[in-house]
Structure 1
């Protein structure tokens, strides 16, 4: 992806500015491709992330704070995401008997099933996104990104 071509400029862009623009363009492209792959399942990237977090909890329920802390994209609308997943039957929400202010959220069997269906598509999409990189290049890229 050539930054200058994408933003249609012939001006020399300072390397720092070009890098930030480049990272933004790549991030948007990855999000777009992942969104397209999830569309047939009626799940957004953020909803998918919540489902994966809950699957990782096993039989242990999570609360909104736990989910928000583990989100790839931090946001304040975790409650809305959980509400949408609840309406789809992918999660269940219960009030904690010991502390009525605490809400416990668990993934349902239906939520696990949709995640299993998505897993294969997600892997294919990730491979497609990264197809022009070797394993060694991906390791180097990750090392560079770890510097953030």
Structure 2
């Protein structure tokens, strides 16, 4: 659906303003889609992001610094998110044997099972496939990279 119909507005100063508003609107739309799937598993978007990073590291642990570097949301507190994931038994935290100041974080079997159950990416990819071609998806990705400079 067109942005103008979604937000009931046709008054944009120029195409750049409309594109900026469209990026923000689409981010929120996508975030709501993600949230509705993650709510089924009682995890947040940031927790999901950390679990995905840890699954990529598995069977090797990661440190909080590695998590911070790779997180999509650079403003969140990775340490607190890990604390919540430990409480939910989705990750473990242990002292690094080589450097006692470092903490190793490892995804648990339960964490891997939760990730396996989440169908969010399938829903997003299906939505993309139903609405744009693969060539358009590449173009969109390239334009977003270009937009960020």
TM-score (normalised: structure 2): 0.88
Residue by residue, what CA displacement relative to the aligned partner does 1:79-133 show, whole Å, maximum 9, x if unpaired? 1111111011000001123333211100011111111111xx1233213432211
Contact 1:51–1:107 (Cα < 8 Å) also in 2: yes
Q: Which structure 1 residue ranges, 5 or more long, are not aligned?
A: none
Which position in structure 2 is the counterpart of 1:102? 102
- State which drifts further: 1-10 or 108-117: 1-10
Shift of 1:146: 2.3
Which position in structure 1 is the counterpart of 2:120? 122
Q: Which structure 2 residue ranges, 5 or more long, are not aligned?
A: none
TM-score (normalised: structure 1): 0.89
Which position in structure 2 is the counterpart of 1:29? 29
Matches within 5 A, 1:1-148: 1-118=1-118, 121-130=119-128, 131-147=130-146, 148=148
Contact 1:95–1:103 (Cα < 8 Å) also in 2: yes
**How far apart in 2 are the matches of 1:100 and 1:89?**
23
